[in-house]
Amino acid sequence: MVSSADTSRANSLPETTYFTKPPVDGEFVQVDKIAWQPMPEPFAHGGICWKLLHVSPELGSWTAYFKCPAGSHFSAHIHIGPGEYLLTKGKMEVRGGIENGGETAYELGYGYEPSSARHDHTYFPIDSEFYMSFVGPLHWIHEDGSTVAVTGWKELQDVWLQQTGIAA
Ligand SMILES: [Fe+2]
């Protein structure tokens, strides 16, 4: 039962605003029509290139396609949120590869990496390509675990816009 005291308190509170949001627009990217951009150091070594396909400011997720020449590798990083990948070409050693307790993906391979996955050694012994969708940022680290940088959808979008000349 609602007392008159409850009613008068409710009346004194600011009005609650509820938002009705429209669905987000769909997107399409013709991947082979956009140019590869170099994945900047200190995040990657050996000529890794990328194409940023999508960012979601609301979810904090982002999606990219990577081209990794034989002998290339990513710097050490931790996935703040989970990620899913599809290796469309070549071979990728994740977490040191299967010989070191990690994973070795061969074309055509799918993998799921959970939140907090630490990737000290992501290496490509042969020319490779993979698609990956990330939730949340990557935390790039030194060997001792200290921070090099944290890159989320916003930072990566800024880099992409700069590289492609879309940014003013
Ligand atoms: Fe990773």
Give the whole-angstrom CA distance, residue 59 versus residue 133: 12
* CA 79 / ligand 1 centre spacing (Å): 6
State residue 4's pLDDT score.
Answer: 60
Give the whole-angstrom CA distance, residue 44 versus residue 76: 9
Mean residue pLDDT of the chain comes to 93
Q: What residue segments make up the domains of the chain, in order of their start?
A: 34-164
Q: Following DSSP, what letter does each residue of 94-145 receive, concatenated?
A: ETT-GGGTSEEEESSEEEEE-TT-EES-EEESS-EEEEEEEES-EEEE-TTS
* CA 78 / ligand 1 centre spacing (Å): 7
User: Model's pTM, two decimal places?
Assistant: 0.88
Q: Tell me the chain's radius of gyration from C-alpha atoms.
A: 21
* CA 45 / ligand 1 centre spacing (Å): 14
* CA 139 / ligand 1 centre spacing (Å): 10
Residue 102: CB atoms within 10 Å: 17
With cut-offs at 50, 70 and 90, classify the pLDDT of residue 5.
Answer: low
- Output DSSP code: residue 152: -
Q: Which two tokens stand for residue 41?
A: 């150091």
Give the whole-angstrom CA distance, residue 5 versus residue 80: 47
The pLDDT tens digits of the residues spanning 59-115 come to: 999 999 999 999 999 999 999 999 999 999 999 999 999 999 999 999 999 999 999
Q: Which two tokens stand for residue 4?
A: 């008159």
* CA 118 / ligand 1 centre spacing (Å): 7
* CA 5 / ligand 1 centre spacing (Å): 56
CA dihedral 83, 85, 90, 92 (to 10 degrees): 20
* CA 55 / ligand 1 centre spacing (Å): 17
124 or 166: which leads in pLDDT? 124
Whether the Cβ atoms of residue 127 and residue 49 lie closer than 8 Å to each other: no
* CA 122 / ligand 1 centre spacing (Å): 7
State residue 19's pLDDT score.
Answer: 83
* CA 15 / ligand 1 centre spacing (Å): 45
* CA 29 / ligand 1 centre spacing (Å): 23
The yes/no answer on whether domain 34-164 falls in CATH 2.60.120.10 is yes
- Residues of the chain above pLDDT 90, percent: 83
Distances (CA, A) of 58 to 127, 133, 152: 34, 15, 12
